[in-house]
Chains A and B, each alone.
Chain A
Amino acid sequence: MTTPQDDDENQGNPWDGRRSPHDFQELMSQGRAQFGRMLPGGGSGIFLGGVLIALGMGAWSSVYTVASDSVAVVQRFGQFLKEVPPGLHLKLPFGIDKATKVPVKRQLKQEFGFATLGATDPSQSPRGSERDTRLETEMVTGDLNAALVEWVLQYRISDPVKYLFEVRDPGLTLRYVSESVMREVVGDRTVDEVITIGRQEIEMDALTKMQTLSTKYAMGISIDQVQLKNINPPRPVQESFNEVNQAQQEKEKLINQARRDYNKVIPLARGEKDQRIREADGYRLKRINEAEGDVARFNSLLAEYAKAPQVTRRRIYIETLQDVMPDIQSKLIIDGQVQNILPLLNIDSLQGAK
């Protein structure tokens, strides 16, 4: 018995088509000779036909190719025989040898919580309905909150023999392991870590744990990468997570506004301070210069005064009075001998007369 897969392989093979008839001719001539001895009649058309068909099927099922990204595991009568590298190979027909191809070099992946369309590997996408896909993402965090986590697992088949013979459905088991580990890791973290700050740590932690488990389970799988995709809070809660973001923005805005007010006033005040200090400095210069000027003038005068004190003194006195007197409207000059003039002086009338 041949597997359908083997038949497929042989059909498109031109080499096979040329070679086989040659073999058949030899076999048939031998066969005919033998049968001729056994069956003197010669009317053995049906029998020969049966043999011919059987041989044709045998030839069909004895050639197979292994793609360059795969190896084939060959079993003879069910027992493991050998691993076969990529290329064209022969095996014993009629189900005696069975070759199973395993894509060892291909990077395989599994998606959790979402599905890329057109996947051929059944274990790549979540099984079941949309509800199952959603359930796959729902997790409880270590602070008893809920989060929706989507992730991708990249893996390769490292040991095809183990992959085929140790575990019944390695792909499915890997999915279980991945889900379980991801929940274990998320369960040890707060919702904030899961959603924002701890993503990388989760990826690393999950990868290590999944690698440990897949080694322990001897599935012949090596896990290369765990990548977190969308992580969201549950839908009814998302709004409030946005509120936090908005509040964060609002906080920045409030602070910036206050800073703006600060900056509007303080540098100006500093400038004004400098202005006042400079003005004071100007006052200082003015005072000192004026004082020095006054003093210089005084000193010069003093020098002159020292030469002729009486005359200078008199001159200054008279000059000053001459300067002052003309502006005064009411002047009373009284004889020095007259006593008691004050009682007669009508100050009011003097005021009125001016």
Chain B
Amino acid sequence: MRTVHVGLLVISIIGSYLISSSIYTVSEVEQVIVTQFGKPVGDPVTTAGLKIKMPFIQEINPIDRRVLEWDGSPSDMPTKDKLYISVDLFARWRITDPLQYFLRLRDERSAQSRLDDILGSETRNAVAKHELIEIIRTTKDRVPLRDALLTKVESDIGALVPIQKGRVRVEQEIFASASEKVKVFGIELLDIRFKRINYNESVRPKIYDRMISERRQIAERFLSEGNGEAARIRGNRVRELNRIQSEAYREVEEIRGLADARAADIYAQAYNQGPESVEFYEFTRTMQSYKSMISTNTTLVLSTESDVFKFLKGMAPSVAKISAEGSDNSP
């Protein structure tokens, strides 16, 4: 009784162990290579689900079926224009031939290190063949927006450095040569992209100096633009002032001239009515002028012959004068 009981227990334990070592599951994200004493047996299992294998002697080796990432560590390398830059790449790859992959690499760690080697050297090659700007820029014909205030004319500031190929083409070159080389490992390279490209620490001070001098240049231009504009305004001020003042002078003189002309016209019309008015004007005007011409310290020598004093010598006016007066109006 007791032995039967224990026997059953042992059998059931052994049975369940047998079952558990002869079935296995394959997830959606993996594929499995079954090995027998370390040697792959049969085709790789690529469908997910519950699977059966020989217990004990066969082992399962799951291999990822998803798209995997490779992240290179940043490494310093020179460009064609001898600038040291630090380049950081990433790639996406997947295992397309699991058997080949299993035989050649066995696990992902060694796959990653092969990718390090291959992509690392291809990147170096490509970077050394191109100038820095070729792996920075992408679009060949792009015209940059310009701050109207910041960059007005001729200067290089605010312009993009021209390129021949551009980043995407360089990436494609690296990709093309590297993807050939990784095929032997049962790996397919899906794409590679530059993740980070930076100036090497040793280059930075020079770059910063250049940026600073560029900015100073802009700042100086602002100052001189300000001074120039101010000078222009000051010039305008003088010009306007002269214009206004001279216009005023011109208009004033014109008005005065016209006024004088008008007055002369009025006088002429009045005085020129006939010989009588001409003569009378002459007379009255002369009389008027005496008042201002003769002052206190004038010495006046008058003869008794004159009209005012002719009566000093006698009452009767001189014959000549009277006869003259009778015939003529002139004094």
Are B207 and A179 neighbours in the complex by a CB distance under 8 Å?
Answer: no
Given A78-B26, A273-B245, A334-B302: A240 in contact with B216 (beta carbons within 8 A) = yes
Are B245 and A168 neighbours in the complex by a CB distance under 8 Å?
Answer: no
Q: Determine how close the nearest CB of chain B comes to the CB of A157; give it in whole angstroms.
A: 16
User: Which of A19-27, A57-65, A224-232, A258-266 binds B?
Assistant: A258-266
Q: Determine how close the nearest CB of chain A comes to the CB of B289; give it in whole angstroms.
A: 10
Provide the bound-state CA to CA distance between A164 and B325, in Å.
Answer: 143
Q: Determine how close the nearest CB of chain B comes to the CB of A95; give it in whole angstroms.
A: 8
The residue from B69, B193, B227, B276 contacting A302, defined by CB atoms under 8 A apart: B276
Are B194 and A80 neighbours in the complex by a CB distance under 8 Å?
Answer: no
Are A316 and B151 neighbours in the complex by a CB distance under 8 Å?
Answer: no
A327 located at the interface, meaning its Cβ lies under 8 Å from any Cβ of chain B in the complex: yes
A48 located at the interface, meaning its Cβ lies under 8 Å from any Cβ of chain B in the complex: no
User: Count the A-B residue pairs with Cβ separation under 8 angstroms: how many?
Assistant: 377
Q: Annotate A270-309 by CB proximity to B: 1 below 8 A, 0 otherwise.
A: 1011101101110111111011101100110110011001
Are B230 and A254 neighbours in the complex by a CB distance under 8 Å?
Answer: yes
B133 located at the interface, meaning its Cβ lies under 8 Å from any Cβ of chain A in the complex: yes
Provide the bound-state CA to CA distance between A262 and B47, in Å.
Answer: 87
Are B247 and A273 neighbours in the complex by a CB distance under 8 Å?
Answer: yes
28 A–B pairs (Cβ distance < 8 Å), ordered by A = A142-B133, A142-B137, A143-B161, A144-B132, A146-B198, A173-B92, A184-B167, A188-B137, A197-B146, A201-B145, A237-B208, A244-B218, A244-B219, A258-B229, A258-B232, A269-B240, A270-B244, A280-B255, A280-B256, A281-B255, A283-B259, A288-B266, A295-B269, A298-B284, A301-B284, A321-B308, A324-B290, A328-B295
Residues of A within 8 A of B167 (CB): 184, 187
The residue from A172, A266, A274, A285 contacting B237, defined by CB atoms under 8 A apart: A266
The residue from A146, A188, A251, A274 contacting B222, defined by CB atoms under 8 A apart: A251
Given A237-B215, A290-B263: A280 in contact with B252 (beta carbons within 8 A) = yes
Provide the bound-state CA to CA distance between A255 and B232, in Å.
Answer: 9
Given A78-B48, A254-B229, A332-B300: A168 in contact with B64 (beta carbons within 8 A) = yes
Residues of B within 8 A of A (CB-CB), count: 132
Are B248 and A272 neighbours in the complex by a CB distance under 8 Å?
Answer: yes
Are B258 and A284 neighbours in the complex by a CB distance under 8 Å?
Answer: yes
Are A217 and B211 neighbours in the complex by a CB distance under 8 Å?
Answer: no
Are B204 and A146 neighbours in the complex by a CB distance under 8 Å?
Answer: yes
Residues of A within 8 A of B313 (CB): 335-336
B173 located at the interface, meaning its Cβ lies under 8 Å from any Cβ of chain A in the complex: no
Given A258-B231, A336-B305: A39 in contact with B5 (beta carbons within 8 A) = yes
Given A193-B145, A283-B256: A252 in contact with B138 (beta carbons within 8 A) = no
Provide the bound-state CA to CA distance between A354 and B77, in Å.
Answer: 118
Query: B270-306: which have CB < 8 Å to A?
Result: 270-271, 273, 276-277, 280-281, 283-284, 287-288, 290-291, 294-305
The residue from A139, A190, A257, A285 contacting B159, defined by CB atoms under 8 A apart: A190
Are A295 and B266 neighbours in the complex by a CB distance under 8 Å?
Answer: yes
B84 located at the interface, meaning its Cβ lies under 8 Å from any Cβ of chain A in the complex: no
Provide the bound-state CA to CA distance between A325 and B304, in Å.
Answer: 15
Are A269 and B271 neighbours in the complex by a CB distance under 8 Å?
Answer: no
Are A180 and B226 neighbours in the complex by a CB distance under 8 Å?
Answer: no
Provide the bound-state CA to CA distance between A183 and B138, in Å.
Answer: 10
Given A143-B160, A247-B218, A288-B263: A330 in contact with B5 (beta carbons within 8 A) = no
Residues of A within 8 A of B216 (CB): 240, 243
Are B132 and A168 neighbours in the complex by a CB distance under 8 Å?
Answer: no
Are B211 and A280 neighbours in the complex by a CB distance under 8 Å?
Answer: no
Q: Annotate A23-51 by CB proximity to B: 1 below 8 A, 0 otherwise.
A: 00000000000000011110010010000
B28 located at the interface, meaning its Cβ lies under 8 Å from any Cβ of chain A in the complex: yes
Provide the bound-state CA to CA distance between A298 and B260, in Å.
Answer: 19
B158 located at the interface, meaning its Cβ lies under 8 Å from any Cβ of chain A in the complex: yes
For the complex of A and B, the 4 pairs showing the least CB-CB separation, nearest first, are A251-B226, A284-B259, A336-B305, A258-B230
Given A167-B66, A193-B145, A328-B296: A236 in contact with B212 (beta carbons within 8 A) = yes
Are B207 and A144 neighbours in the complex by a CB distance under 8 Å?
Answer: yes
Query: B140-167: which have CB < 8 Å to A?
Result: 142, 144-147, 149-151, 157-161, 167
B136 located at the interface, meaning its Cβ lies under 8 Å from any Cβ of chain A in the complex: yes
Provide the bound-state CA to CA distance between A334 and B48, in Å.
Answer: 159
Task: Find the B residue at minimum CB distance from A263.
Answer: B237
Q: Determine how close the nearest CB of chain A comes to the CB of B276; give it in whole angstroms.
A: 6
Are B225 and A276 neighbours in the complex by a CB distance under 8 Å?
Answer: no
Q: Determine how close the nearest CB of chain B comes to the CB of A218; give it in whole angstroms.
A: 8
Residues of A within 8 A of B297 (CB): 329-330, 354
B126 located at the interface, meaning its Cβ lies under 8 Å from any Cβ of chain A in the complex: no
Are B236 and A262 neighbours in the complex by a CB distance under 8 Å?
Answer: yes
B220 located at the interface, meaning its Cβ lies under 8 Å from any Cβ of chain A in the complex: yes
Residues of B within 8 A of A281 (CB): 255
Taking each of B161, B219, B312, which has the highest tally of chain A beta carbons within 10 Å of its own beta carbon?
A: B219
Q: Determine how close the nearest CB of chain A comes to the CB of B325; give it in whole angstroms.
A: 7
